[in-house]
Amino acid sequence: MTLCFESPEEARRWCRSERDAGRSIGFVPTMGALHAGHLALAHRALAENERVVVSIFVNPLQFNDPGDLERYPRDFAADAALLEEKGVSMVFTGTLEGFFPGELIEGALPEERYLDPGPAAEGLEGAFRPGHFRGVATIVDRLFDVVEPERAYFGQKDYQQCLVVEELARRRGGPRIVVCPTVREEDGLALSSRNLLLDEEGRAAAPTIQRALEAARAAWNGGERDPDRLCERMGRVLATAPLEVEYAEVRDPRAWSAERPARLDQHAVALIAAGASGRAGSRVRLIDNLILA
């Protein structure tokens, strides 16, 4: 039976009592609309911990576009049923006021209360979604305060988010961050809650993102190390589909830089963000990445 709490205080009390009883806690933070990617994180957490906690909170602090926040899919009943079936110990939700009691001014968190997300927040997602990572770092820090997990699980699809959260965990002295592989549809599309928002044309175009990443990997495996040429390869594939490309870039994962590095050597990651056609005339922003080496 999966317990469910809305109050961070109650969730914290439960987590404390489990820890005091010597049971390890694995934590999967989510924004709900759960899919097989989230369930893979829960699965790994269940294998490595005695208790698993999942949070479901659509965090307004990390949305730079109010329309995006409004459209973000929500289905708590379906999520709770999936987590129950999976054997998750506890799920907690929450409200902004509940996470930051007495701190909101006119419903918003004051500027100075946001955490600095660190250097990995610069460039790419950080540039296209200003304020996104400080919102992520601020809420994840709060969630970690509530759960105090031994391990926390994140999907590699949100590559830069993983770097930001790793840095946050380093600063806090824990938890251990476990980055899990991206789960994909059969046609290669990375699972994302946002895929639900795609229309037929957008859904047909979306797997091109992964094909472009694979093209970069093929070039890398063929010996290509020039960042510009790797990006060009991705651009050529992306141009074959109706996608609005925000970026198709390469970075050195060991030395994150806002700008494209002048050269790559042994380590590289390719990252793409593109808009695809969504229901009711909307545009759905998709991201994906692939480690080249």
Q: Closest approach of Cβ 120 to ligand PAF, in Å?
A: 14
DSSP letters of 1-32? Answer: --EEE--HHHHHHHHHHHHHTT--EEEEEE-S
Q: Looking up tokens 């002048």, which residue turns up?
A: 262
Binding mask 234-273 for ligand PAF (x = CB under 6 A): ----------------------------------------
- Residue 84 and residue 179: Cα distance in Å, rounded? 23
Residue 109 sits at φ, ψ, to 5 deg, of -85, 130
Question: Which residue number, 31 or 241, has a Cβ lying nearer to ligand PAF?
Answer: 31
Q: Does 182 bind ligand PAF (CB under 6 A)?
A: no
Closest residue by Cα to residue 127 from 283, 247, 266, 243 = 247
Of the listed 35, 38, 43, 132, which one is catalytic?
A: 38
**Residues 135-154 close enough to bind ligand PAF by CB under 6 A:** 136, 139-140
Q: Closest approach of Cβ 158 to ligand PAF, in Å?
A: 5
Q: Closest approach of Cβ 258 to ligand PAF, in Å?
A: 20
Question: Which residue number, 2 or 161, has a Cβ lying nearer to ligand PAF?
Answer: 161
- Residue 170 and residue 162: Cα distance in Å, rounded? 12
- Residue 226 and residue 219: Cα distance in Å, rounded? 10
In 151-279 the beta strands, taken as DSSP E runs, fall at 151-155, 176-180, 244-251, 269-277
Residue choice 2, 5, 44, 62 for contact with ligand PAF (CB under 6 A): 62
Residue choice 18, 79, 150, 158 for contact with ligand PAF (CB under 6 A): 158
Question: Which residue number, 59 or 195, has a Cβ lying nearer to ligand PAF?
Answer: 59
Pick the stretch among 2-10, 133-141, 208-216, 255-263 that binds ligand PAF (CB under 6 A).
133-141
Q: Does 191 bind ligand PAF (CB under 6 A)?
A: no
Question: Which residue number, 117 or 253, has a Cβ lying nearer to ligand PAF?
Answer: 117
Binding mask 13-52 for ligand PAF (x = CB under 6 A): ----------------xxx---------------------
DSSP category for residue 107 = T
Q: Does 160 bind ligand PAF (CB under 6 A)?
A: no
Enumerate residues 6+ apart whose C-beta is below 8 A from 282. 67, 71, 197
Question: Which residue number, 157 or 217, has a Cβ lying nearer to ligand PAF?
Answer: 157
Applying CB under 6 A, the site for ligand PAF has a residue count of 10
Q: Give start and end residues of each alpha helix (H) in 21-103.
A: 36-48, 66-71, 76-86, 96-99
Question: Which residue number, 72 or 220, has a Cβ lying nearer to ligand PAF?
Answer: 72
- Residue 99 and residue 116: Cα distance in Å, rounded? 18
- Residue 78 and residue 89: Cα distance in Å, rounded? 16
As given in the structure block, the two tokens for residue 65 are 């576009």
Q: Any catalytic annotation for residue 38? A: yes
Residues that bind ligand PAF (CB under 6 A): 29-31, 59, 62, 136, 139-140, 158, 161
Catalytic residues: 38
